[in-house]
Amino acid sequence: MTDHWRPTLLVVDDEPGMLALAGRLARDAGFEVVTHTKGREALAQLAAINADAALVDLQMPDIGGLDVLRAIREAQPGCQVILMTGHASVETAIEAVKLGALDYLTKPFDLERLQGLFTTVRKGREQREALLQVESDVGRQFEFHGMIGPSPVMQELFDSIRRFAPHVRTALITGETGTGKELVARALHKLGARRDRRFVTINCSAVVETLFESELFGHVRGAFTGATDTKIGLFEAADGGTLFLDEIGELPLPLQAKLLRAVELGEVQRVGALDARKVDVRVVAATNRDLLQQSDAGKFRSDLYYRLSIVEIRLPPLRERREDIPYLTAAFVRACATRLNKPIAGVSVPAERLLQQAEWPGNIRELRNVIERACILSDGRILNDRELLAAMPRTSPSPSPTQVASAAQQPVGSRHNLLRTVPREQIERTLREAGGNKAEAARLLGVSRRALYRWLDRLDVNH
């Protein structure tokens, strides 16, 4: 918790004397105090006040204290509400507790008890922020080349990367979309002998098929219409370094044979050239597909698969490493708060529970996007569960990005039922958020751009 931060108390009572007394006690307990004499006026200012606690009179001329309690709990679940009344009843006290009130005080109330409640609220918030700081510190301690994972499965993964990095010339990274495969590729590069040479990336789903050979191997002037200059390919650009082939499962079959030759022999031939050129490149490929299954279906060369997978590194989905979620969350909140210049310290306990229980079909990428959207929406120091729910996809249940991408490439008859469940409004909303940029929309949805185009065509979405 920063030294200058003080929690905020909202006091709502139609008696000015009570407002002055409660305000003085709260300030002595370390609170900033906001007072209102009318309940509806206070509710209208809830978002701007963003109170950590509220002291509310049960009986006011314009609205009842229980109604104010309900509204506060609905709008700001993390706000601790204390009710006070000059006409106590057991039934009302029970109802207040059921609605989530921290306590129920009778006027004239015990000042020491009220001070004790203020101290409880303040220390509870301080302890929560201290715990969030610990999670943030632990996340930093277990950060490995941009990846965070104190869990045993991730520690084992990091150990494997350390052992393989100095020696491998080819590697295949597998895992669902959004699990961080490029980070693994970069770690292999940084920890190997080629760390000072270039790390070149290409997304195999983002290049037009007719230009793919030129992109990978280059071309000479006049090789085809539009080839006005000689151009080196990515293999030559990565000579001495690492070439990362993302979404290798999208590579067209005719190019797979040429890629295999380049990987095995270290030779590339520019389009239109007569002679091959020697290159020394470490090739790291990544996919969210089952390439053995693709091979059996005749969509991926088995010899290329076995050549690339001499070392195969599997990234676990987020649902298999849920114990890492608090530390990932802390890191994403810290990064977003810094970028947005907001004093956000972390998430509330209910929000953390929500994050732990979510399915996360888009894995870490989806978690990061949800945290970022919630940080943009929030004006408080602690993200609550409602802010996170507002930042999550609104349609549920939805097919996972992997299911959608797979369905988009199956025959129409077999994918018809699945595609009927795809939330059309989610696609259109994502396209709007991306400003019509298909590559950005595909990234937000967790699918390849090619899969997104098939998806849009099948759903007759105007693009």
Q: In what order do the strands lie in the sheet with 53-57?
A: 32-36, 8-12, 53-57, 80-85, 103-106
> Quick one: pLDDT at residue 458?
56
Of residues 148 and 428, the one with the higher pLDDT is: 148
Give the mean pLDDT of 345-370.
92
Can you tell me the distance from the alpha carbon of 394 to that of 130, in angstroms, rounded to the nearest whole number? 32
Q: How many CA atoms lie within 13 A of 296 on its CB side?
A: 4
Q: What is the pTM of this model?
A: 0.70
- Please, what is the average pLDDT of the chain? 84
Does the pLDDT value for residue 410 go beyond 90?
A: no
> Quick one: pLDDT at residue 459?
58
Give the mean pLDDT of 266-280.
90
Of residues 418 and 53, the one with the higher pLDDT is: 53
Does the pLDDT value for residue 412 go beyond 60?
A: no
> Quick one: pLDDT at residue 176?
96
Give the mean pLDDT of 26-54.
88
Residue 263: which residues within 8 A CB-CB, separation 6 or more?
170, 283, 304, 307, 308
Q: pLDDT tier at 414 (50, 70, 90 boundaries)? A: very low
Note if the bond before 108 is cis, omega within 30 degrees.
yes
> Quick one: pLDDT at residue 169?
93
* Region label for 446, one of left (φ > 0), alpha (ψ between -120 and 50) or beta (otherwise): left
> Quick one: pLDDT at residue 415?
32
DSSP 390-410: HHS-S--S---HHHHHHHTTS
DSSP 258-317: HHHHHHHH-EE--BT-SS-EE---EEEEEESS-HHHHHHTTSS-HHHHHHHTTSEEEPPP
Tokens of 252: 């067209």
Of residues 94 and 318, the one with the higher pLDDT is: 318
Give the mean pLDDT of 149-153.
92
Percentage of residues in the chain having pLDDT higher than 70:
86
Give the mean pLDDT of 16-28.
90
> Quick one: pLDDT at residue 1?
40
Of residues 434 and 79, the one with the higher pLDDT is: 79
Interior/surface letters 233-243, b for 16+ CB within 10 angstroms, e for the rest: bbbbebbebbb
Give the mean pLDDT of 402-417.
38
> Quick one: pLDDT at residue 44?
87
> Quick one: pLDDT at residue 2?
43
> Quick one: pLDDT at residue 422?
40
Give the mean pLDDT of 230-259.
92
Q: pLDDT tier at 443 (50, 70, 90 boundaries)? A: low
- pLDDT, one tens digit per residue, over 202-230 is 999 888 777 888 889 988 888 887 778 88
